[in-house]
Amino acid sequence: MNAAVQFVHEQLTGSKEFPKFKAGDNITVNYKIIEGGKERIQGFRGDVIKRQGTGGTATFTVRKISDGVGVERTFPFFSPNIESIELNKVGRVRRAKLFFQRKRSGKSARIKEKRMAVAAQG
Amino acid sequence: MMKGIIGKKIGMTSIFSPDGKQTSVTIIEAGPCVVTQVKTKDTDGYSAVQLAFGDKKEKHTTAAEKNHFAKANTAAKKFVKEFRDYSIEKAIGESITVDIFTEGEKVEVVGTTKGKGFQGVVKRHGFSGVGEQSHGQHDRQRAPGSIGNSSDASRVFKGMRMAGRMGQDRVKVKGLKVVKIFPDKNYILVSGSVPGHIGSIVLIQK
């Protein structure tokens, strides 16, 4: 990326204290919504199917099945409306973009969880 | 009365407002420009300020240019532009930086659009083409159609819109907002897009 564009991103976006996540991970995005002049936090839990872009314009897309209907939402990574992100599960996938998930449903749409080896105690 | 500065288009990005609205912005590296000549009504017939921007190598500078820049006590510059009826009082040799603008101000940006080469009428003038792809119509989807009458005019009128070179025009975009200024780096961020490719010269004026 252009050094000047990068400089502007650093000045304007700052850093975000989010856990590291990638495509295939299951996350909960807690974002602010304004309802009748009041602000509240709503969660959106689903699988990350892509991360796109660099710097201040980076986005990620989360997909979930809600009442049997697939719902996708794209969030700008540096949006001030994102309150926090929780990492629920780390998925084991071989691709960076999981668009094939759109054609799948039920059992075949599951993403295998990556189990981390925990160092033995003592 | 106007104020203005010469700059270079750096690139685009987007920034967030505190309430989460995303705005696209263009980053322009503007100035510092040196005042190389001040024209007045008495001596030149009109009032203007000549600004110079961007360094250039000495081997590319003619003797006449060298002397002209020497009067302003500055190195040779690549781009020289005149601004009519400049509202800020400046003498020869003084510099102009992005500080002349404030955040939130509405400005105009002048640039040269990207060259598109030889283009047909659909892209160049927004013609809709023939419109049908079936009913015997064959390979004339993007043709201009008729360009005039038969015996009554017996000629094609001047200015008839046809295919040809597109782009590389001087274009002014009005009403762009100054979103942010970085005085240390000479960067100015204006809302929306600006004519020209990255690295091209633009004038920011008000």
Extended beta strands in B17-160, E state: 22-30, 33-39, 48-55, 77-84, 95-96, 106-112, 117-119
> Chain B contact for A81, CB < 8 A?
yes
Average confidence (pLDDT) over B43-49? 88
pTM of the model: 0.80
pLDDT digits (tens, 9 = 90+) for B91-140: 787 888 888 888 889 999 999 999 999 999 999 999 988 777 888 888 88
How many other C-beta atoms can be found within 10 angstroms of the C-beta atom of residue B65? Answer: 16
Instruction: Enumerate residues 6+ apart whose C-beta is below 8 A from B55.
Output: B75, B76, B77, B78
- Kindly list the residues from chain A whose CB atom is less than 8 angstroms away from the CB atom of residue B18: 80
pLDDT of residue B121: 92
pLDDT of residue B54: 86
Dist. CA B51–CA B43, nearest whole Å: 18
- Kindly list the residues from chain A whose CB atom is less than 8 angstroms away from the CB atom of residue B181: none
Mutate one of A1, A2, A9, A12 to test the B interface: name it (highest B CB count within 10 A). Answer: A12
Of residues B13, B18, B20, nearest to A9 (C-beta): B13
Asked if residues A111 and A62 have their Cβ atoms less than 8 Å apart, the reply is: no
- Kindly list the residues from chain A whose CB atom is less than 8 angstroms away from the CB atom of residue B179: none
Pairing of strands B106-112, B117-119: unpaired
pLDDT of residue B1: 66
Is the predicted pLDDT of residue A119 greater than 70, yes or no? no
Asked if residues B14 and B23 have their Cβ atoms less than 8 Å apart, the reply is: yes
Is the predicted pLDDT of residue B194 greater than 90, yes or no? yes
Is the predicted pLDDT of residue A46 greater than 60, yes or no? yes
- Kindly list the residues from chain A whose CB atom is less than 8 angstroms away from the CB atom of residue B15: 12, 56
Residues on B contacting A at a C-beta cutoff of 8 Å: 10-16, 18-20, 22, 27, 29, 180, 182, 185, 187, 189, 198
Dist. CA A41–CA A31, nearest whole Å: 5
pLDDT digits (tens, 9 = 90+) for A78-108: 888 888 898 888 888 899 999 998 988 888 8
Residues 13-72 of A with CB under 8 A from B: 13, 32, 55-57
Interface confidence (ipTM) of the complex: 0.73
| Long-range CB contacts (within 8 A, 24+) of A55-58 | A55/A1, A55/A5, A55/A6, A55/A9, A55/A13, A55/B13, A56/A8, A56/A9, A56/A12, A56/A13, A56/B13, A56/B14, A56/B15, A57/B13, A57/B14
Of residues A4, A78, A79, nearest to B27 (C-beta): A4
Is the predicted pLDDT of residue A12 greater than 80, yes or no? no
Tokens at A21, concatenated: 């996540």
Dist. CA B56–CA B30, nearest whole Å: 16
Dist. CA B183–CA B32, nearest whole Å: 10
Q: How far is CA A20 from the centre of its chain?
A: 9
Is the predicted pLDDT of residue A122 greater than 80, yes or no? no
Mutate one of B13, B19, B29 to test the A interface: name it (highest A CB count within 10 A). Answer: B13
- Kindly list the residues from chain A whose CB atom is less than 8 angstroms away from the CB atom of residue B30: none
CA gyration radius for chain A? 17
- Kindly list the residues from chain B whose CB atom is less than 8 angstroms away from the CB atom of residue A11: 182
Please state whether B41 falls in left (phi above 0), alpha (psi between -120 and 50) or beta.
alpha
Smallest Cα distance from B115 to chain A, Å: 23
